[in-house]
């Protein structure tokens, strides 16, 4: 194990809505290690993207960070003035968004995007130096130098994702958060993109957080896995331990729901129920209404993390001592 390059401590993020307060990230703590690829996984609406944006303090109204600490470079980012935080973005922390076409200006050439990024975060960089950096990155990411003068709509989805990576690396960022970067890609381009991420991690000493709902992507590219459910972290572990000995019932359900060409039974497993509304989350462990192993204590108190392996923790009462572990009596309507 190595010391964390980025640490999240007791982070909470909420959104104000007409119906009430939605706590999208609820008291989450997580360490991210240098030069690792961390896979952040969970169902849609569990808080993954909100957590990724919060890491860069990019939560916008009506959202707000209501508590917690974000440690990077020996400083709590929550204490930094807005201008200083802006300087850190791009230079040290970058984000690759899910849909490149919503992040790229259709009226600007690709080279202009990169030049603008470089000169915004490094005012001392000359136009010539910024253009040289743009051409260098484009070549490294497999974009022909002649194409760098083209516009975003002239590229395929996979190439647009490479452009987004170029923008993230324009100033040699230390930590890159990639939000669902493979969602719109076919399986062949997806595999090429994941190979590229590994290469860039090794070449640029990057730390990458990849946000996805695709368990297959996690298995292919990540070093560690962090599972979120209903705004809370439920299981964190090294990839081999996670897939070899999955512990949290929610994680087990996610894995069993993935189609497997080797499966002997034709029926696809599905988890009963659906994620709770974050307007009115259930007390205790938020997964207990759907959990086949739920106990009375699960409906009352949220469990803390317990060590279940050498590099593997799970927030579940199954792995903790408690005086009363009676099965939960469910009332069926």
Question: What are the structural domains, with CATH classification, of the chain?
Answer: 4-92+173-233 (3.40.50.300)
pLDDT, position 157: 85
User: Cα–Cα distance between 84 and 49 in angstroms, integer?
Assistant: 23
Q: What is the pLDDT of residue 102?
A: 80
| pLDDT tens for each residue of the chain, 333 residues long | 578 999 999 999 999 999 999 999 999 999 999 999 999 999 999 999 999 999 999 999 999 999 999 999 999 999 999 999 988 988 899 999 887 778 899 999 999 999 998 888 777 888 999 899 989 988 888 888 889 999 999 998 888 988 988 888 888 899 999 999 888 788 888 888 889 899 999 998 999 999 998 898 999 999 999 999 999 999 999 999 999 999 999 999 999 888 776 666 667 778 888 999 999 999 999 999 999 999 999 999 999 999 999 999 999 999 988 666 777 766 554
**What is the chain's Cα-based Rg?**
21
Question: What pLDDT was estimated at residue 101?
Answer: 79
What pLDDT score does 333 carry?
43
Task: Give the helix/strand (H/E) hosting 133.
Answer: helix 127-140
Q: What is the pLDDT at residue 79?
A: 96
Looking at residue 183, its pLDDT comes to 80
- For residue 273, what pLDDT is reported? 87
Task: List the beta bridge partners of residue 3.
Answer: none
> Is beta strand 20-33 parallel, antiparallel or unpaired with respect to 207-212?
unpaired
SS (H, E, C) 65-83: EEEEEEEECCEEHHHCCHH
Q: Specify the pTM.
A: 0.91
């Amino acid at each position: 194990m190595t010391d964390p390059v980025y640490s999240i401590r007791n982070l909470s993020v909420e959104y104000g809505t007409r119906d009430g307060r939605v706590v999208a990230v609820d008291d989450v703590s997580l360490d991210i290690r240098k030069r690792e690829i961390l896979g952040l996984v969970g169902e849609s609406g569990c808080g993954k993207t909100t957590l990724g944006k919060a890491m860069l303090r990019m939560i916008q109204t009506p959202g707000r960070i209501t508590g917690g600490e974000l440690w990077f470079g020996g400083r709590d980012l929550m204490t930094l003035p807005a201008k200083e935080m802006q300087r850190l973005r791009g230079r040290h922390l970058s984000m690759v968004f899910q849909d490149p076409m919503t992040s790229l200006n259709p009226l600007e050439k690709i080279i202009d995007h990169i030049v603008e990024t470089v000169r915004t975060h490094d005012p001392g960089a000359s136009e010539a130096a910024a253009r040289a950096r743009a051409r260098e990155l484009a070549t490294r990411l497999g974009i022909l130098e002649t194409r760098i003068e083209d516009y975003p709509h002239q590229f395929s989805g996979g190439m647009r994702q490479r452009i987004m990576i170029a923008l993230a690396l324009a100033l040699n960022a230390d930590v890159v958060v990639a939000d669902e970067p493979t969602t719109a890609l076919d399986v062949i381009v997806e595999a090429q993109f994941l190979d590229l991420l590994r290469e860039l991690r090794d070449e640029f000493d990057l730390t990458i957080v990849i946000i996805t709902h695709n368990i297959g992507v996690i298995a292919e590219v990540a070093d560690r896995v962090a599972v979120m459910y209903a705004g809370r972290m439920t299981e964190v572990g090294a990839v081999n331990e996670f897939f070899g000995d999955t512990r949290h019932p929610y994680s087990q359900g996610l894995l069993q729901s993935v189609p497997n060409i080797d499966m002997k039974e034709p029926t696809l497993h599905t988890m009963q129920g659906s994620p709770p509304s974050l307007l009115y989350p259930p007390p205790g462990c938020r997964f207990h209404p759907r959990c086949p192993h739920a106990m009375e204590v699960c409906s009352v108190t949220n469990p803390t993390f317990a060590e279940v392996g050498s590099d593997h923790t799970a927030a579940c009462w199954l792995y903790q001592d408690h005086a009363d572990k009676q099965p939960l009596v469910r009332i069926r309507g």
